[in-house]
Amino acid sequence: MSVNVEVAGQAALVRIEVIGYENLAANNPSDANWLTCRVEVRVRGFEGHLNAAFTTQDFAAFSKSLRSAVAALHGWAVFEADEDALQLKVEFNVTGTVTISGSLREPDRPGTYLAFSFESDQTFMSRTVEALDEVSHRFPVRP
């Protein structure tokens, strides 16, 4: 059963569907921690979808930095992956709003990408942290 991580805001959504480990039989950590994912970005009339692979460590790092920013209502969190399929920056502003910016790109076609930016708030980000907790629970970093 998959887990959906959503970074949502006003008329916009980034959804990462984490389907499962790419290679359950892998013995070394660099191969064992890749996850098969589907990514969807919808921002005010623009839409992009692609299949991607991210690591358990990508989700763990994003979860840690986002949890800290949500608790402080200050700072930023970044989701970055080795293959550059998805980049996200979540930045908490002094006004209480949250700005999400990033890009979705096909790794084998670097000229094909969707750059986006939208506003959100801490309520949405708390839900994102809960979804990231579910990813870490269902798909822990494998030694």
Q: What is the mean pLDDT of the chain?
A: 94
Q: In CATH, which of 2.30.31.10, 3.20.20.60, 1.10.645.10, 2.60.40.60 is domain 3-138?
A: 2.30.31.10
Instruction: List the beta strands (DSSP E) in 3-142.
Output: 3-9, 12-21, 34-43, 46-55, 75-80, 86-92, 97-106, 109-121
- Entry pTM: 0.94
Please write the tens of the pLDDT for every residue from 25-38. 998 988 999 999 99
Higher pLDDT, 140 or 108: 140
Which pLDDT score is estimated for 40? 98
Residues above pLDDT 90, as percent of the chain: 83
Q: What is the mean pLDDT of residues 65-72?
A: 96
**Alpha carbon distance 17, 112 (integer Å):** 21
DSSP letter, residue 140: P
